[in-house]
């Protein structure tokens, strides 16, 4: 994550809007071939939701955000 733009906590868990920098990551297929789209946006907004479990936080939702970074 590059930065957190919004953070909220309530009885159901934690929600945050963050900027994700994916420049150093690659997408690979089952044969380990790089299939990273050449036109992939490298920095994008991401909406995340976490729920509390007995062992810590668990990501319950992850989707592309509507904001800009």
In the prediction, which pLDDT does 68 show? 87
pLDDT of residue 20: 92
Q: What tokens were used for 66?
A: 């509507």
Q: Could you tell me if residue 51 is left (phi over 0), alpha (psi between -120 and 50 degrees) or otherwise beta?
A: beta
pLDDT at 61: 96
Q: CA–CA separation, 16 vs 41, rounded Å?
A: 20
The span from the CA of 52 to the CA of 60, in Å, is 10
pLDDT for residue 47: 95
User: Which residue matches tokens 């920095």?
Assistant: 43
Residue 66 main-chain phi, psi, to 5 deg: -95, -10
Determine if residue 60 is left, alpha or beta; phi over 0 gives left, psi from -120 to 50 gives alpha, anything else beta.
alpha
pLDDT in tens, 9-62: 998 899 999 999 999 999 999 999 999 999 998 899 999 999 999 999 999 999
pLDDT of residue 17: 94
């Amino acid at each position: 994550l590059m930065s957190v733009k919004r953070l909220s906590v309530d009885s159901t868990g934690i929600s945050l809007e963050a900027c994700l920098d994916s420049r150093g990551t690659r997408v690979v297929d089952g044969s380990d071939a790089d299939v990273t789209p050449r036109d992939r946006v490298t920095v994008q907004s991401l909406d995340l939701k976490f729920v509390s479990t007995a062992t810590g936080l668990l990501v319950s939702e992850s989707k592309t955000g509507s904001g800009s970074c």
